[in-house]
Amino acid sequence: MDTKKNLLDLTLDDLREFIRSLGEPAYRADQVFQWLWQKGCRDFAEMTNISKAFREKLAEASFIGWPDIEKTAVSSDGTVKFLLRYADGELVETVLIPEEGHTTQCLSSQVGCPMACTFCSTGQMGLTRNMTMGEILGQVLVAREYIAAHEDDVAPLRNIVFMGMGDPLLNVTEMVRALTTMTHDKGLGFSSRRITVSSVGILKGLEVLGDCGLAQLAISLHAPTQELREQLMPKAARQLPLDQLMAVLDRYPLKPRERVTYEYILLRGVNDRPEHARQLVKLLGGRKAKVNLIAYNPSPGAPYKAPHPDDILAFEKILWAKGLTAILRKSKGQDIAAACGQLKAKHISES
């Protein structure tokens, strides 16, 4: 059995301990860490400020395990989707979304997802396993390398959202380790204000994420009442009923001027009626909240339809009229199956 460690699975503290165990001074870890995360180095031979003897020692005890790119799909609107393959053969998706002057990357945190939300392709796959810190951040390394090679077409990576496959708060231990390396100034160096973790609302995970303070919080709400939420996302709604979820969120430690983002995917005739907008205002009014409205992007065989553009506008208008900040997220990458889980589902059905 291969007992070598993947260095991408180690936080800086872990790496210091590992390097001490190899009989080297701990400060060497800082150099190696910078090679891994700042320079995207995958080959020990490139670590030129480290002695050859130490590099050989490192290569005997460890490796640098990036995911392989199984498939890249580029949309006519500039959205880029990668299907990545990990060492055990599992496939995961990540998406680069072009925005004004920068790129946002949507990351996965689990292989599949156990929550089975009825509108989500990933939810229909079930959970295979959690991803490790190195696997989560490997998505960013691949994206950064791609952007460097396509800098005329793709803007710099500035924002990260955990809205891909899986619920990040069901994998909160590895998530916090990933956030630590992601925000470390010797690591990937992202500002925590530019990282958003999106969850259906997992009690323990919310506590841990709130305590670490390394990311902004988004809640996948998608329904303004417990009854409708149970219909759309039965597992999430039963595990933490809406009144309890809101009570937990009222205690969530927000910094000054921070708000919780509520994600609301509009499904035609199901949750996009004016009465739903009014119920949403009632639920979120007076709370530190903003709403991201997302027009549903149906995948083949999906049980829901995309909302009508007039209904989207009417819904948004009701929220604004009542003083609730709402932003309509344009659906991007429709021609490349960009919604979470769609590319993997398509790849599996074609192979």
x/- track of binding to ligand SF4 for residues 183-222 (CB under 6 A): -----------------x-------------------x--
* 40/241 with CB nearer ligand SF4: 241
Secondary structure of 13-56 in HEC code, one letter for each residue: HHHHHHHHHCCCCCHHHHHHHHHHHCCCCCCHHHCCCCCHHHHH
Residue from 123, 138, 205, 224 in contact with ligand SF4 (CB under 6 A): 123
Q: If you compute the radius of gyration of the chain from its CA atoms, what whole number of angstroms results?
A: 21
Q: Measured on CA atoms in the order 147, 148, 149, 150, is the torsion positive or negative?
A: positive
Smallest distance from the beta carbon of 132 to ligand SF4, in angstroms?
Answer: 18
Residue 150 is labelled as binding a ligand: no
Ramachandran class of 64: left when φ > 0, alpha when ψ lies in -120 to 50, beta otherwise: beta
Q: Is 340 in the site for ligand SF4 (CB under 6 A)?
A: yes
Residue from 9, 93, 167, 316 in contact with ligand SF4 (CB under 6 A): 167
Annotation marks residue 340 as catalytic = yes
Q: Which is the catalytic residue, given 24, 70, 93, 263?
A: 93
Residue 220 is labelled as binding a ligand: yes
DSSP assignments along 134-170, one per residue: HHHHHHHHHHHHHHHHTTTTSPPEEEEEE-SSS-GGG
* 221/277 with CB nearer ligand SF4: 221
**261-280 residues near ligand SF4, rule: CB under 6 A:** none
Annotation marks residue 41 as catalytic = no
x/- track of binding to ligand SF4 for residues 46-85 (CB under 6 A): ----------------------------------------
Q: Is 168 in the site for ligand SF4 (CB under 6 A)?
A: no
Cβ partners under 8 Å of residue 293, min gap 6: 264, 266, 312, 315, 316, 319, 326, 327, 328, 329
Calpha distance 94→83 (Å, rounded): 7
* 184/222 with CB nearer ligand SF4: 222
Calpha distance 120→341 (Å, rounded): 7
Calpha distance 348→92 (Å, rounded): 12
By CB under 6 A, name the binding residues for ligand SF4. 113, 115-117, 120, 122-123, 165-167, 200, 220, 340
Binding residue positions for S-adenosyl-L-methionine: 198, 220-222, 297
Catalytic (active-site) positions: 93, 340
